A = this chain, B = another copy of it.
Amino acid sequence: MQATNQISTISIIGSGNVATALGLALSQSGLKVVEVFSPNIANSKLLSSKIGCNYVESIEKLNPNSDLYIIATPDKEIGNVSSKLKNVVGAIAHTSGSESISVFSSFSNNYGVFYPLQTFTVDNVVSFNDVPICIEGSNEKTIQLLKTLANNISNNVVVINSQQRQLLHLAAVMVNNFSNSFYDMAHNILHENDIDFSLLHPLIKETANKIDKVIPSNAQTGPARRNDVDTINTHLELLNKHPEYSKLYRLMSNQIIKKYHD
């Protein structure tokens, strides 16, 4: 893929998981990420060295002539950051799943959202090829600019509005954050009993891969799906030492039983 002629220079604000993943993907696709700013100077230095660009020590020192400023900060800082970018000529975009596009409306004419629907952890490189990138823009020009940028790193670019993005983010929290939290509880239970967690890897992967062929409601198996109360009670006894896990086990099972057996 080659750099778009619409965007020559990009500034990145933020140095966390999303800023890192996106900064690397954009620069590796041939786009020119010129600088990074983050209040966390150590992270900022690290990311700029990975990308091979500058870092600046205050937001006021950002190049005022970049074509695009990507704000990959915690949601609550987006408003504050964008207020400091009100004199730049280039477009401004945030990467948040939940923050409305309207956060920018007082500070810019050309603004939008560039939301990669994926989970990122620093040090775990993710291929962007099939990561859905959800675009929103204040005007057609900005939408096209962000779409062109997104097409440079992904084959899965969609234009959606802020409410659709919020719903997608909510759904993403359920399938990623909550599933991973159950992986963690399972990890703890097995670790406490000297059982190798990697025995669960094939099951975890099959659970995820099955969705290509079977919708989730048809893929449901297990004691709650069968309304197998004896096994559920056995598991609740095993969870005696973990009252919070037990509470979640009970609620999840009730949710499944209600769906399939009421």
Contacts and interface: CB of A to CB of B under 8 A. Distances in A.
Interface stretch (A37-45, A87-95, A135-143, A197-205): A197-205
A12 B54 CA distance: 67
A68 B99 CA distance: 60
Copies in the complex: 2
Interface stretch (A3-11, A27-35, A104-112, A246-254): A246-254
A247 B178 CA distance: 13
A252 B178 contact: yes
A176 B216 contact: no
B219 A98 contact: no
Majority secondary structure, A binding face? helix
Interface of A: 17, 74-76, 97-98, 117-121, 124, 126, 130-132, 156, 158, 160, 164, 166-187, 189-190, 193, 195, 197, 199-226, 228, 230-231, 234-235, 238-239, 244, 247-249, 251-252, 255-256, 258-259
6 interchain residue pairs of minimum CB distance: A208-B208, A177-B222, A171-B186, A184-B216, A179-B179, A183-B216
30 contacts: A74-B226, A74-B228, A75-B228, A117-B202, A118-B203, A119-B210, A119-B219, A121-B221, A124-B214, A130-B202, A156-B202, A158-B199, A160-B195, A167-B238, A168-B195, A170-B186, A170-B235, A171-B189, A173-B249, A175-B183, A175-B204, A176-B203, A176-B207, A183-B216, A184-B259, A187-B215, A201-B211, A205-B209, A248-B248, A248-B251
